[in-house]
Structure 1
Amino acid sequence: MTSGPKAAAGRARRLARVALACGALALLAVLAMVGLRGAWVLLVALAGLAAAAAGAWWTVARRGLVRVLGGALVLVAVGSVLTFFVSSGLWVPACSALLLWGTALVCADRALRLTRPVADLLVRVSPRPKRAVLIMNPRSGGGKVGRFDLVARAEALGAEVIVLDTGTTQDVAAIARRAVADGADLLGVAGGDGTQALVAGVAAEHDLPFLVVCAGTRNHFAMDLGLDRTDPARCLDALVHGVELRVDLGTVAGRAFVNTVSFGAYAEIVQSPAYRDAKAGTALDALPELLAGESGALITADADGVRLTEPQALLISNNPYDTRDRLGAGRRPRLDTGQLGVLGIRLQNAAQAAAVALGGQSAGLTELTARDVVVTSAEPEIPVAVDGESLVLPVPVRCGLRPGALRVRVPRDRPGSVPTGLLRNWRRLGALAR
């Protein structure tokens, strides 16, 4: 082993020990509270969370006096729980338990990522590209292209860079196809997931390697590939010292997507011209009618024969997200399962909202996987958000998956890579700590 892997293994071992120690201390703090005041201490905390969730539901789903009362309930519930812990002298162990548990999760996540298995995705060594073409959006991510000097760095590594003109509307897919016609043997994008998807579709169409430079705001696709989102310039290492991964590529109405396709409330809200400048206000103004089915298109989805009737929100993802694991929440453990993730939400009352907030089973949530999802509506067209891009598509809208269709070129060292199958395995942390 080189000094780099040795150092990483040492950091992972220390982080695993810290995670286990903090987790054990958090448990002891909870047991101390139970010992001092009994098990009803936990019931008070859960009741406060349930009341706050119910108040939050009334705040977003109702108008007028009920919305005001819902907001007041959130404040009263949170304030009452805090007052209880302070007056009973339990605020120190309660805060300690929360802080210790949060530290345990952060350290455990980092330790597992530092010791990712080699075969989390099929890695193939490929030759260095002779004519790499990178398309860069200078406005993406608040100007990360300029802030990290990505144009000069890419050109220094031999890549041809096309900087988008943000003053006009440009067809990014057409630009990528022209680059292929001119002899490009690799296509790459410095931008958000929406731009990534457009060029990824062209790369898959011509079976060319695709390079992700995480210069967007969130870049979920880059995160699930294990790329370092804090330093987009590190993605350029793949031009010289890179390997290839074969991952799946989602399709919606014939258009590629790398992350998610949203239908229902979110897709309706982002259609508003006011959403960009006032996201919270626009959402609160639209949600009561959307959740009640009084505005927006009512949709129905068929996921491999499973029918979802009039969900308020429907999320289709390119491979399923791990929604159960607190270490991996908001991530996809794999990008090569050949399955779409399907999450349907239909909350009809505050009790269902509280159940969701408490992490329990709720009739308002439907979670499954499928190879094919067809969304229909009585309306001829429905709003759809594709990787954050707002579109209007004719029904029926078909979502599918092309297994292994995308060749992604990544750096050999991916510091953010997520370990497969280890997100819920605390025994792995124990072995690592030893």
Structure 2
Amino acid sequence: MGEVVRAKWLARAAIGCGAAAVAVLAAGAGLRGALVVAVGVAALALMAVGVWWALSRRGPVRWLGVLLAAVAPAGAVAAYVGAGTWPWVLASVLLWAVGLWPARAALRAGRGAQEMPEREAARPRRPVLIMNPKSGGGKVEKFRLPERARELGAEVVLLDPSAPQDVAELAERAVADGADLLGVAGGDGTQALVAQVAARHGLPFLVVSAGTRNHFALDLGLDRNDPARCLDALTDGVELRVDLGEVAGRAFVNNVSFGTYAEIVQNPEYRDAKASTVLAMLPDLLAGYAGAELTAEAGGEVLEQPQAVLVSNNPYDAGDLLDPGRRSRLDLGRLGVLGVRVDGAAQVADLALRGTSAEAVRTLMGREVLVTAETARIPVAVDGEALELDVPVRCVIRPAALRVRVPRDRPGAVRSTPPLSWRRLARLAAGRVEANGGAR
């Protein structure tokens, strides 16, 4: 009951900060309080439109969007200073900001235990690690990963950057030679190929965060700044049972994307210049998407003609459009689905402000996702790898298929925070908590 009491008092503190913010603004600004709020809302809306123009337009309109995104909040500040209300506005904003910490802490505490259960794991006798020297701009060499792995008793297979190699075949060969653990130092796409082999043979799988972004490593709580710390799992590791996604028979550890994002990944310039390629292609894809008309179905619900669909190995926590966030759990046995469809300026502003919580975004969950289109084949990005697959495309999840070996000490492991809900905070503040930790 300690977490229940803690959640109750944190929720009360958050609500108190929110009420104090409103009271300070009302007392200081008086009758001008409504005008202050209107100016702030208008500034946020203009800033959201500016951000959208910066992403979805080219040339002068894009630069106008950048200017609008910068000038809108500056104009609001100037208006507050000119009207003499800035001290009260600043105090109100600070109180809101302070209140966010106990609010999120209360929601985490109220949700109860959410960490993936750990199992003790014996030290492997013959671990084999496959390493890609080119991943992450050369992290394998920078952090001396082959030497450190060998010092810990692992066999290292270095990929040849000058000649394409079948990573899955190398993993199968390692299993045939007696490997009792398979590991990869590389990006999410390479991780998935070896993970599928490890799952097929029931072997432990070790992730070394040597890729560019390594979403899978992030969601496992691994250190992405120092991938050498991942090797601690060889000597002092624990095991997590993790789900594995599959699309058209191919495994994925992170996500599969269709529509807008898949079109971007198909661009041959994407791998070498991701940021500039995204900025160059977004205008056509967001403002005038001309790709195949998609339909996605999951859990008995249907998404009609979304501009983008993201199917993830377990649902994401709340995030923004270009970065959906983190997955606090990888063992729920459900695929997460994000579908995006923007039909007007109001949805544009809402999407820019609220990210995946916007009305233009629909979220679904299910054990199977079926994506169809009127064309025979559609572009698909599987863990960032560009493919074309036959329609319909079927995504499934294999619960607890992967035995992931991780270090006992994982600096990035965090508890998830549910979306901010004042109604749920009010229930927590009143002590209305279910036995499993959720607010009633």
TM-score, with normalisation over the residues of structure 1? 0.81
In structure 1, how many angstroms separate the alpha carbons of the residues matched to 2:15 and 2:160? Answer: 50
In structure 2, how many angstroms separate the alpha carbons of the residues matched to 1:169 and 1:30? Answer: 62
Residue identity in the other structure for 1:377: A
Q: Secondary structure at the match of 2:47?
A: helix
Aligned to 2:308: 313
Aligned to 1:264: 259
2:368 to 359, 363, 372: 372
Closer/same/farther in 2, CA of residues 281 and 329 from structure 1, 3 Å limit: closer
In structure 2, how many angstroms separate the alpha carbons of the residues matched to 1:76 and 1:99? Answer: 21
Q: Secondary structure at the match of 2:213?
A: coil
Contact 1:26 1:98 in 2 (8 A): no
1:387 aligned to 2:383? yes
Aligned to 1:411: 407
1:124 to 119, 122, 130: 119
Aligned to 2:220: 225
Residue identity in the other structure for 1:286: M
Unaligned stretches of 5+ residues in structure 2? 1-11, 430-440
Aligned to 2:393: 397
Contact 1:23 1:101 in 2 (8 A): no
Unaligned stretches of 5+ residues in structure 1? 1-19, 429-434
1:36 aligned to 2:28? yes
In structure 1, how many angstroms separate the alpha carbons of the residues matched to 2:134 and 2:13? Answer: 44
Q: Secondary structure at the match of 2:41?
A: helix
TM-score, with normalisation over the residues of structure 2? 0.80
Deviates more, 1:20-29 or 1:80-89: 20-29
Aligned to 2:47: 52
Aligned to 1:178: 173
In structure 1, how many angstroms separate the alpha carbons of the residues matched to 2:107 and 2:224? Answer: 18
Using the TM superposition, give the Cα deviation of residue 282 of structure 1 relative to its aligned residue in structure 2, in angstroms. Answer: 3.5
1:191 to 180, 186, 192: 186
Closer/same/farther in 2, CA of residues 126 and 74 from structure 1, 3 Å limit: closer
2:343 to 348, 366, 387: 348
In structure 1, how many angstroms separate the alpha carbons of the residues matched to 2:113 and 2:287? Answer: 48
Q: Secondary structure at the match of 1:41?
A: helix
Q: Secondary structure at the match of 2:302?
A: strand
Deviates more, 1:399-408 or 1:172-181: 172-181
Closer/same/farther in 2, CA of residues 64 and 41 from structure 1, 3 Å limit: same
Aligned to 2:136: 141
Aligned to 2:4: none
Contact 1:176 1:187 in 2 (8 A): yes
In structure 2, how many angstroms separate the alpha carbons of the residues matched to 1:237 and 1:111? Answer: 33
Per-residue CA deviations over 1:228-267 (Å, capped at 9, x if unaligned) read 2222111111101111110100111111111111111111
Using the TM superposition, give the Cα deviation of residue 420 of structure 1 relative to its aligned residue in structure 2, in angstroms. Answer: 5.7
| CA RMSD across the alignment | 3.7
Using the TM superposition, give the Cα deviation of residue 324 of structure 1 relative to its aligned residue in structure 2, in angstroms. Answer: 7.1
Using the TM superposition, give the Cα deviation of residue 163 of structure 1 relative to its aligned residue in structure 2, in angstroms. Answer: 1.2
Aligned residue pairs, count:
410
In structure 2, how many angstroms separate the alpha carbons of the residues matched to 1:140 and 1:30? Answer: 50
